[in-house]
Amino acid sequence: MATFHGQNVFITGASSGIGRATAIAFAREGARLLLCARNLAPLEELRESLADAGSPAVHIFQLDVQKRSEVEAAIAGLPADWKDIDVLVNNAGLSRGLAKLYEDDPQNWEEMIDTNIKGLLYVTRYVVPGMVARGRGHVINLGSTAAYITYANGAVYCATKAAEKSISEGLKIDLMGTPVRVTSVDPGMVETNFSKVRFRGDEERAAKVYQNITPLQPEDVADAIVWVASRPAHVNIHNVVMTTIDQANSTVFNRRG
């Protein structure tokens, strides 16, 4: 496995779930961690754990990736020793609602499109030029099995993840001739706050999503992210599609009991 000692790993949406687990996983590999989220308090709480896990340096800042001017200013304003980003993990993302398209609240669409697509584009746009100039870097985008099969009442969320898949593929084409790598990690059901966010804090409804099934854990996805980033420099893993053993795709599950 490649070493990440001395490398700067930038993770968006790092305050919980897959982002948090990925930060801890890279800390164990000795990476310097650049972390952002909309809520700064969980990142502050995480800082000591990352140091204990092995990260030699952690820089955190508050950022809503939906806001282009803030993304541009935040990346341009990074301290000198954090400007050279070796690995970008575009993890920030969310789902809102689970309803028929013609009955849904358009505000749900705005949040998903602005975060999952536009936020991904903004961060990528302001980080990747530096990677190209330095002749090294790896962009890892968090996709979903929802990009491959659309499920009922999730048309817009699935569309945002299909967009992420296309953006990842297009970025890789655009980067041909450079050493910069691009990977889309596309998990199925993962037990995080995803469903709680989707249902705006309705914990009972969120819990039913994982009922009678063994979902992936954030650490499973983090392990895959570190693995793809640790491949030899000439190897590019384009996609990792991963699910629990109880999931075949976005619509077929094995629910026990």
Give me the catalytic one of 102, 126, 151, 157: 157
Sign of CA dihedral 88, 192, 36, 30: negative
CA distances from 115 to 141, 153, 157, 164, 216 (A): 13, 19, 11, 11, 23
Burial 76-109 (b: 16+ CB within 10 A, else e): eebeeebebbbbbbbbbbbbbbbeeeeebeeebb
Give the sheet arrangement for strand 58-62, strand by strand.
Answer: 58-62, 32-37, 8-11, 87-90, 138-142, 181-187, 239-242
126 catalytically annotated:
no
Integer Cα distance of 112 and 162 in angstroms: 12
What is the set of active-site residues?
A: 157
